[in-house]
């Protein structure tokens, strides 16, 4: 029997306040997928939220790999897949993006498609519907991304400044991304569009230079967080939170997790976010995660 091959994909936190569907950061918690051809499909799942991850043909990694193979004019053979998961499911930390990227790497590896990271990014962004999370999964660190008019993804990686840290605070309930997108309006005023554009550009500049003075203004947003605060208890208070060493907070993806931007040495500020959730009757976990300097890796 063939030896297992392995792909490891980081979690990701998207939007980062004003960068809706455009900015994301890779986090050092991972989805690891071991795979090899087999006589029949077999999927085993261990780790975090394993009970929420299907082990049959509806598994997202398997379904996506099959779809990618067919789109490439080929057929994926049955596989033995062993999934080790560290990424919370349904919490806004890119679990589906990680699975999609893993699936594309599986298809590429098994069928020897010869896909570059740029091709994986294109395929993943089309499947996900937006490029931010998958770009972080593929390139690592902080990523700015966009889709062009032909549907191709473009992404540029930034290096997180040495003096900056992040912490993910994860309350103990799930929010389906589709439902969280449904609460957003269909159109925005020019004032709100300009407001977010200014802050997204400011955030990219601050992350590129390490300029702390841009915070917390650089994390302000009028596009998605105000509309989602009604279904994330405490979010409004969290976004307004100020403390020494805390650069600011942002809803992680569609939530309910929150990403705190911190100065080095101020990691304890994440506890302030957890306390706000607790005052709303929600237990929350502070994840031991930092910025992942690498995107997916094939081991």
Topology annotation, domain 5-158? Ribosomal Protein S5; domain 2 (3.30.230)
Contacts of 156 (CB under 8 A, 6+ apart): 143, 144, 145
- Average pLDDT for 67-82: 97
To the nearest whole percent, how much of the chain has pLDDT over 90? 93
What is the pLDDT at residue 143? 98
How far is 200 from 221, CA to CA, in rounded Å? 9
What is the pLDDT at residue 70? 96
What is the pLDDT at residue 135? 98
Domain 164-287 has CATH 3.40.50.720: no
Least confident of 78-92, 142-156, 175-189: 175-189
Among 169, 147, 190, 184, smallest CA distance to 21 is for 147
What is the pLDDT at residue 237? 98
Classified as helix, coil or strand, 177 is: helix
Q: Judge whether residue 175 has pLDDT over 80.
A: no
- Average pLDDT for 19-24: 97
70's enclosing H/E stretch is: helix 60-71
Q: Judge whether residue 177 has pLDDT over 80.
A: no
Domains 5-158 and 164-287 share a fold: no
Better-scored residue on pLDDT, 2 or 17:
17
Number of alpha carbons in the 13 Å side-chain half-sphere of residue 225: 28
Per residue in 27-73, pLDDT tens? 999 999 999 999 999 999 999 999 999 999 999 999 999 999 999 99
Bridge partners, residue 27, by sequence: 11, 291
- Average pLDDT for 292-299: 96
Q: Judge whether residue 144 has pLDDT over 80.
A: yes
Question: pTM higher than 0.75, yes or no?
Answer: yes
Tell me phi and psi for residue 230, to 5 degrees.
Answer: -70, -20
Q: Judge whether residue 103 has pLDDT over 90.
A: yes
- Average pLDDT for 238-262: 97
Domain locations along the chain: 5-158, 164-287
Q: Judge whether residue 139 has pLDDT over 90.
A: yes
What is the pLDDT at residue 166? 97
Q: Judge whether residue 182 has pLDDT over 90.
A: no
Among 80, 86, 55, 62, smallest CA distance to 5 is for 80
What is the pLDDT at residue 287? 94
Better-scored residue on pLDDT, 181 or 258:
258
């Amino acid at each position: 029997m063939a030896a297992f091959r392995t792909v490891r994909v980081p979690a990701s936190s998207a939007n980062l306040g004003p960068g809706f569907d455009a900015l994301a950061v890779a986090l050092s918690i991972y989805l690891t997928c071991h795979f090899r051809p087999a006589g029949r499909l077999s999927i085993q799942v261990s780790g975090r939220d394993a009970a929420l991850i299907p082990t049959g043909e509806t598994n997202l990694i398997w379904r996506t790999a099959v779809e990618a193979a067919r789109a490439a004019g080929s057929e994926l053979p049955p596989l033995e897949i062993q999934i080790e998961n560290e990424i919370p499911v349904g919490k806004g930390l890119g679990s589906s993006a990680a699975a999609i990227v893993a699936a594309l790497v599986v298809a590429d590896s098994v069928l020897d498609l010869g896909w570059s990271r740029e091709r994986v990014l294109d395929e993943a962004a089309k499947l996900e519907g937006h490029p931010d999370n998958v770009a972080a999964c593929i390139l690592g660190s902080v990523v700015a991304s966009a889709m062009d008019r032909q549907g191709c993804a473009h992404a540029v990686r930034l290096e997180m400044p040495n003096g900056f840290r992040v912490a993910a605070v994860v309350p103990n309930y799930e929010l389906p991304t589709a439902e969280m997108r449904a609460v957003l309006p269909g159109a925005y005023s020019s004032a709100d569009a300009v407001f977010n554009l200014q802050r997204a550009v400011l955030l990219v500049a601050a992350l590129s230079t390490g300029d702390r003075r841009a915070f917390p203004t650089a994390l302000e947003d009028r596009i998605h967080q105000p509309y989602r605060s009604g279904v994330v208890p405490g979010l409004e208070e969290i976004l307004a939170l100020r403390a020494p060493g805390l650069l600011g907070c942002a809803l992680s993806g569609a939530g309910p997790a929150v990403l705190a931007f911190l100065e080095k040495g101020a990691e304890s500020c994440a506890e302030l976010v957890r306390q706000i959730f607790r005052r709303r009757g929600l237990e929350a976990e502070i994840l031991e995660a930092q910025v992942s300097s690498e995107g997916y890796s094939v081991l």
